[in-house]
Structure 1
Amino acid sequence: MGRKKEFIGTVVSNKMDKTVVVMVETLVKHPLYGKFTKRRKKFMAHDEGNTCKMGDKVLIEETRPLSKRKRWRVKEILERAKVLEVEPSEEGGE
């Protein structure tokens, strides 16, 4: 049995129940000119515990078909999204 494919990507949507959309960026070299271009692809991945938040960096792995468009599963969360804390500004500015 072969190895399962794995990708590292960023969660761009977590609005569904137990499903996240993961954006994976890869660098592809042009066959003639040699320039590298970014290719982006979105994968729908299964998130059993609804633990992923938007902006998280995750590792997804290939799995059996779980629904019409879901063939990937979140294996682990590599890095949590950085949340910026905004301090309330003083009221009556002048």
Structure 2
Amino acid sequence: MPKRVLQGVVVSDKQNKTVVVKVERRFTHPVLKKTVRRTKNYHAHDENNTAKVGDLVFIEESRPLSKLKSWVVVQEPGT
């Protein structure tokens, strides 16, 4: 089974080797038929501390690395 890949924006890089990524998803509400935006924050592993606040990054599902981290930053805009 392939690993999920999500796209989001880095909202925090204060932790060592960890970034917090905000991922937004859009869907149509089943009753109201309006487009609804929902956001969720993911803690992702950033080995070289290269991602900064505001960067657009791709994160990939991985094995649990800590209590909160089970995602890894795989690609950044410059690469």
* CA-atom RMSD in angstroms: 0.8
Return the index of the structure with the highest Cα Rg.
1
Q: Report the count of equivalent residues.
A: 78
> Which residue in the other structure is 2:51 paired with?
52
Q: Deviations over 1:6-46 (max 9, x none)?
A: 10000000000000000001102101221011100000000
TM-score (norm 1): 0.80
> Structure 2, unaligned stretches of length 5 or more?
none
Q: Return structure 1 stretches of 4+ with deviation > 4 angstroms.
A: none
**What is the correspondence of 1:25-40 to structure 2 with a 5 Å cutoff?**
25-40=24-39
TM-score (norm 2): 0.95
Aligned to 2:76, the other structure's residue is in SS state strand
Separation in 2, partners of 1:41, 1:23 = 6
> Structure 1, unaligned stretches of length 5 or more?
80-94
Higher RCO by CA contacts (8 Å cutoff, separation 6 or greater): 2
